[in-house]
Amino acid sequence: MCGIVGVIGNKPVSRFIYHSLFAIQHRGQSSAGKLTYDGNIHVFKDYGLVRDIFDDEKKIDTPGLVGLGHTRYSTAGMDDVDSLKKNAQPEYLVNPFLAAVHNGNVINCSEIKHKTNRSPRTECDIQCLLLPMADELYKKELSTEVIFNACKKVMKKVKGSYSSLFLADSGEDPYMFAITDPHKIRPLVLGKKNGLYCLTSETRVFKKTNFEYVKDIPGGSVIIIDKDGHIFEKQLVKKTETPCMFEFVYFAKPDSRIRGRSVHDVRLNLGRLLAKNNPVDADIIVPVPESGRRYALGYSRESGIPLDEGIMKDKAERSFIQQKQESRDKIVEEGLSFLRAVLNGKRVVLVDDSIVRGTNVRKLVEGAYRAGAKEVHIRIGCPPLIAPCYLGIDMRSRKEFLARNETGDVRSWDEIAKEIGADSLAYVQSDDLEDVIGFPVCKGCVSFPDGYPDDLQDYVNELYEKDEQGKRAYE
């Protein structure tokens, strides 16, 4: 899972990309980068956060009427600093000139690498899109038809999830183009503003940069935009779109919309459903900041139990997408404060978006009790996560999920409650999740393998069989 942005038009785009990266920082915290192009390549990228990488004006203001940006959440490659620096995007080639950023996960990279004579410069699966695309465009005079044909051939080779942006040069007329996987697992939206056009991961970027939302890009599509604002689009493969359910549950910001559905409204309604189906006698509802806030608001409104802020978040970093377990623990321990004035003597319902490894929830229960809570009940806005995601969320091994025991069997809710020290625990049911969202979603992590798109189930079953604790099976 990453954040991507591309801008092309009639004026310099660097500052628009820079501000857009802040709007999608929550999608990736391991590295960030920006590339603009004016016949020369101007690129800055590094590991860390946007605010730390772009720390002077020379990096922020670079020339070019077209450019790409990226915030990376690592689902491929190693997690040490050198690897994070090496795998930062945008990535580019010079023969032909082609730059790219990618959000998603290509699960057949090993096959693709044997079908190209080019050597990947990094471990990241952007190479599995960039290299075959470069092969198809090599020694060809660029035109929209040439790009469409190249994308069609690449899409036939690539399996997995991808919403990817490319920048290609054809003399004085650069093109920006995008491809989306047939199931549109990862979001991609188009916006415009006074001769500028933007493709990016979330609609919130448009609010931050005063762009006008135009449309969601359909699955299996190619969209090409030239510097004069001409747009060319084809849907090359048409299948049922199944966006990642974790976008709605956790990853996207509440002020974004996916296929017209407000992320805020989805989380609010899931909270209402939690209260309706899993009531509890309690004194206060306490959201886990910031991810549990909308669920808790819905739970409070449906149950009539007052909402109060019993937990304060002191850090902006997201614990789930930290690369290492010790980093996740540190964020939780240093980033949360429990308010005794709110929690002491109360029967408390703590509401959050999800439980993956159990890093957060154990600390939350312990912290609430230390602050004097009489009872602690946990309510979770999505179903139990039981299987790795092979399409862009870094849940690596089936053995790391709290919802599974040591032998690999799925635990009951009561067993999990006992494990985390809570008085009770309840989740949203799988069918209810999809009903609230309003259309089919990819939910392979909560219903394996049936929750994955039909044409990917053989691949994910094979990866599941290769699964070893702590390793990504597709690498």
Buried b (16+ CB within 10 A) or exposed e, 263-288: bbbbbbbbbbbbbeebebebbbbbbb
pTM assigned to the model: 0.92
pLDDT of residue 474: 46
CATH architecture of 262-465: 3-Layer(aba) Sandwich (3.40)
pLDDT of residue 317: 59
CB-count exposure of residue 349 (10 Å: 0-12, 13-18, 19+): buried
Whole-number Å distance between alpha carbons of 440 and 372? 42
- Averaged over 401-425, what is the pLDDT? 94
Token reading at 239: 């299948």
E strand map for 345-472: 347-352, 375-380, 424-427
Residue 409 DSSP symbol: P
Pick the CATH number of 3-241 from 3.40.50.300, 3.60.20.10, 3.10.200.10, 1.10.287.3510: 3.60.20.10
Whole-number Å distance between alpha carbons of 269 and 288? 17
67 has pLDDT over 50: yes
Contact 140, 134 (CB under 8 A): no
- Averaged over 186-199, what is the pLDDT? 97
Region of 246 (left: φ > 0; alpha: ψ -120 to 50; beta: rest) is alpha
Identify the H or E element spanning 35.
Answer: strand 31-37
User: What SS3 string covers 152-191?
Assistant: HHHHHHCCEEEEEEEEECCCCCCEEEEEECCCCCCCCEEE
371 has pLDDT over 80: yes
pLDDT digits (tens, 9 = 90+) for 119-152: 888 888 899 999 999 999 999 999 999 999 999 9
- Averaged over 53-69, what is the pLDDT? 95
Whole-number Å distance between alpha carbons of 473 and 397? 8
65 has pLDDT over 60: yes
45 has pLDDT over 50: yes
pLDDT of residue 334: 59
Contact 174, 168 (CB under 8 A): yes
pLDDT digits (tens, 9 = 90+) for 330-339: 555 557 999 9
CB atoms within 10 A of CB 245: 25
User: Which residue carries 């994955």 as its tokens?
Assistant: 452
Flag the least confident range among 225-239, 277-291, 346-360, 386-400. 386-400
3-state DSSP assignment of residue 42: strand
32 has pLDDT over 60: yes
Domain ranges of the chain: 3-241, 262-465
User: Which residue carries 């702590």 as its tokens?
Assistant: 470
Using 50, 70 and 90 to split pLDDT, how confident is the model at 113? confident
Flag the least confident range among 68-72, 106-110, 265-269, 330-334. 330-334
Nearest 5°: phi and psi at 472? -90, 120
- Averaged over 375-397, what is the pLDDT? 91
471 has pLDDT over 60: no
pLDDT of residue 397: 76
Which has the higher per-residue pLDDT, 332 or 84?
84
pLDDT of residue 367: 97
Q: Which of 2, 382, 442, 445 is catalytic?
A: 2
pLDDT of residue 327: 47
Contact 87, 74 (CB under 8 A): yes
pLDDT of residue 287: 97
pLDDT digits (tens, 9 = 90+) for 311-367: 998 866 554 544 454 544 555 555 799 999 999 999 999 999 999 989 889 999 999
- Averaged over 303-314, what is the pLDDT? 95
Whole-number Å distance between alpha carbons of 382 and 380? 6
CB atoms within 10 A of CB 373: 26
- Averaged over 213-222, what is the pLDDT? 98
Flag the least confident range among 155-169, 170-184, 315-329, 412-426. 315-329
User: Which residue carries 């090409």 as its tokens?
Assistant: 224
pLDDT digits (tens, 9 = 90+) for 268-300: 999 999 999 999 999 999 999 989 999 999 999
pLDDT of residue 466: 81
pLDDT of residue 321: 47
Whole-number Å distance between alpha carbons of 461 and 446? 14
Per the annotation, the verdict on 382 as an active-site residue is no
- Averaged over 260-269, what is the pLDDT? 98
pLDDT of residue 467: 77
